[in-house]
Structure 1
Amino acid sequence: MWIIIQTGFSIPSESDGTPQSCEFWDSSTRKKIEADAKATQTLQCGLTKEELNRVGPFSSAKDLWTKLIELHEGTSDTKEKGIALFAGTEPKKMKKLLEDSESSESEADDEVTTELVNLVQKMFQNKRGIR
């Protein structure tokens, strides 16, 4: 089942782009479609109604999985913005803390650690913690 989620599967289509009738599916195609349906159902069973509504439409188990990852982890762009939002610190400032030549490495590490602890505390205070 996990292989279907990782690799994805789509229903075969005709040359004009319409889905192929199930009458023409061979046994391996039927098995892949069944596996995709089982994987999709398994993923859906683990979601709340709110999560399922936030995911929106999807065409396969892989598509659903990708949307769930974006929903819970965000894209790289939203992750960067989220860190800045929760920590009240711009990503450039975090980078500067690491590169600051005036402070020693241990001082920079202490400042970064403090910023990260504050971030985690704010996330859990806002009930937006990691699931």
Structure 2
Amino acid sequence: MAKTFRLKIISPTGVFYDGDVERIVVRGTEGEFAILPDHIPFTTTLALGTFNILFGDGTKKYGTLLGGIATIGSKESIILTDAAEWPEDIDIERAKEAKERALQHLKDSKFDAARAEIALQRAIIRIGAKERK
């Protein structure tokens, strides 16, 4: 059996995932990186994006992380995120509506462009994750 480490993904609504994994690939603000067992300890910020988990039995699963921070240790890594979702939990119609709303807000000067841009990125990530499934 492959070597694993404990991964916890926590959002404001509670524990999203808590279990042993062989590897997780996440998107940091400096680019994608993998966390493996016995990883050198560090803390970093996470960008909006997807993650890919490889389990000890060789199965894989992916989802979305909407920003946050990761504290990586040699035996346990903890991700605190604004939101995390599995593709099967994403409402594709709602995500498409959010994308259209964000595009409209970007065109309208009365809306905060930075907030609209983040909403657009979130919607695109969610749609991409759902359509990948």
Superposition TM-score tier, normalisation by shorter sequence? under 0.3
Greater per-residue strand proportion: 2
Greater per-residue helix proportion: 1
Which TM-score applies when normalising by structure 1? 0.25
Which TM-score applies when normalising by structure 2? 0.25
